[in-house]
A and B are shown apart, each in its own frame.
Chain A
């Protein structure tokens, strides 16, 4: 499993960044809106961030396709 950010729902509060035990959430590169991104190879899919997200649906856990593992 992995977690990704659904950008049109995310309010960029950064809570997921603060609680991620792997520090896999980063500010998006050169983004003036300060949105965040989950770096896929750093994410273990633990889902610890999910209960902290204040915006329903903004963090989505997904199954990584077999060919991408």
Chain B
């Protein structure tokens, strides 16, 4: 197992604030995630090493454009709006803590898009952010069903997002840690360091949701289904900016 993953598990995954069926369910799902998390760290390290060996600064722009595409429209418009809407008015008193965390995430994702643009501006790859609007590389990505139902699936039930938070945001944390361990460039580190704490918060949100709310088989079912979905080989990975392949 990659030392970066071992460190993440010891610091953030295994320590629990309380015990119960939610924690036991989460730890069972964690076992399923481990091989993919480990592979992601390996891949992020390989990508970072390859970028460094390229001998060009272009990799910074490639990462930033992919990150801009992934964390602008993809996260802010689609995922964040649907996860807010997954809690209906009648359920809001029950899930108000989740709603507040999700509202905070909209803010975060907007800022993350700005960070990628800032890498391109400070690096001299563009003069103005508006240039990105004419650049398909900053606005598209090879995710299946970019605006389709599979992407909406982790948001249909109020607790479904917990699976996505737990599995995907952990990959963002791991990809960031892996990339930071290799790339010593101020601009790349600027973008990664600035959003590192937030990705961890989103992972911890997933952890909290599962531990606190997934107490019965009925509550666990929508989360289990999202893990079943995300653990398929074709499920989306984090963007190139966060150590993923897209």
Q: A14 and B114: CB pair below 8 A?
A: yes
Q: Give the complex CA separation of A29 and B197 in angstroms.
A: 15
Q: Which residues in B have their C-beta under 8 angstroms from that of A60?
A: none
- Contacts A32-B193, A34-B194 given: A27-B114 contact, CB under 8 Å? yes
Is there contact, CB below 8 Å, between B115 and A27? Answer: yes
Q: Which of A15-65 contact B (CB under 8 A)?
A: 17, 23, 26-27, 29-32, 34
Judged by a CB distance under 8 angstroms, whether B122 is at the interface is yes
Interface assignment of B111: CB less than 8 Å from any CB of chain A:
yes
Instruction: Identify A30's interface contact among B110, B128, B193, CB under 8 A.
Output: B193
Taking the closest CB of chain B, its distance from the CB of A4, in whole angstroms, is: 18
Identify B190's interface contact among A17, A23, A29, CB under 8 A.
Answer: A29
CB pair B197 A30 closer than 8 Å: no
**A27 (CB) vs chain B CBs: closest residue:** B118
Residue with the greatest number of chain B CB neighbours at <10 A, chosen from A26, A31, A32, A34:
A34
A32–B196 CB distance below 8 A: yes
| A27 CB contacts on chain B under 8 angstroms | 111, 114-115, 118, 190, 194
Report if A14-B122 is in contact (Cβ < 8 Å); known contacts: A30-B193, A31-B194, A32-B196.
no
Q: For the complex, what is the distance from the CA of A30 to the CA of B127, rounded to whole Å? A: 21
Contact: A23 with B129, CB < 8 Å?
A: yes
Q: Which listed residue, A14, A17, A23, A30, touches B194 by the CB 8 Å rule?
A: A30
Q: How far is the CA of A31 from the CA of B197 in the complex (A)?
A: 10
Alpha-carbon distance A34/B191, docked complex (angstroms): 11
Question: B121 near A: Cβ within 8 Å?
Answer: yes
Q: Which residue of chain A has the shortest Cβ distance to B126 in the bound complex?
A: A23
> B190 and A30: CB pair below 8 A?
yes
Q: Are B111 and A26 in contact (CB under 8 A)?
A: no
Q: Check A29–B196 contact: CB distance below 8 A.
A: no
* Chain A nearest Cβ from B161, distance in angstroms: 23
Q: Which residues of B contact A14 (CB under 8 A)?
A: 110-111, 114
A27 to B190, CA, bound (A): 9
Which residues of B (126-155) have their CB < 8 Å from a CB of A?
127-129
- The verdict on A32 contacting B197 (CB below 8 Å), with A14-B111, A27-B111, A27-B114 known, is yes
Expressed in whole angstroms, the Cα–Cα distance for A17 and B118 within the complex equals 11
Minimum CB–CB distance for B225 against chain A, Å = 33
- Cβ-neighbour of A29 out of B110, B128, B186 (below 8 A): B186
What's the minimum C-beta distance from B188 to chain A, rounded to whole angstroms?
11
Interface residues of A, Cβ cutoff 8 Å to B: 14, 17, 23, 26-27, 29-32, 34
Beyond A23-B121, A27-B111, 12 extra complex contacts between A and B, CB < 8 Å: A14-B111, A23-B129, A27-B115, A27-B194, A30-B193, A30-B194, A31-B194, A32-B193, A32-B196, A32-B197, A32-B198, A34-B111
